[in-house]
């Protein structure tokens, strides 16, 4: 079943859930979760995303974020996901 279209309301808090690729346990080690947190807070700094709360489990994450702009949320999550994937694939070459 396809996912429903996202609805965006200006000036709102968002609950986001993101799973690891193929539901694998890619965040099962503390070092991996620490790297994910580092990427999240770098995205917060770069894009101005307000992180209200988060939890990272071994195969998915939940975030509560606030943004006045839908592109901020999208760009920040793409950054976090991309950097985490690069690290898992061994192609991460540091901050960009």
pTM of the model: 0.76
- Distance from C-alpha of 76 to C-alpha of 44, rounded to nearest angstrom: 7
Residue 52 has what pLDDT? 95
**Domain range annotation of the chain:** 12-85
pLDDT band at 43 (very low <50, low <70, confident <90, very high): very high
- Backbone phi, then psi, for 77, in 5-degree steps? -70, -35
Question: What's the CATH code, domain 12-85?
Answer: 3.30.70.1290
pLDDT tens readout for residues 48-92: 999 999 988 888 889 999 988 878 999 998 999 888 887 777 776
Mean pLDDT of all residues belonging to the chain: 81
d(CA 8, CA 56): 24
Most confident of 8-22, 38-52, 73-87: 38-52
């Amino acid at each position: 079943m396809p996912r429903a279209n996202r609805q965006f309301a200006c000036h709102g808090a968002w609950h986001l859930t993101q799973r690891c690729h193929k539901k694998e346990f890619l965040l099962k080690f503390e070092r991996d979760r620490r790297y994910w947190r580092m990427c999240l807070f770098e995205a917060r700094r770069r894009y101005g995303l307000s992180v209200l709360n988060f939890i990272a489990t071994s195969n998915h994450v939940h975030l509560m974020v606030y943004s006045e702009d839908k592109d901020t949320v999208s760009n920040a999550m793409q950054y976090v996901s991309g950097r985490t994937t690069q690290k898992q694939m061994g192609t991460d070459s540091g901050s960009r």
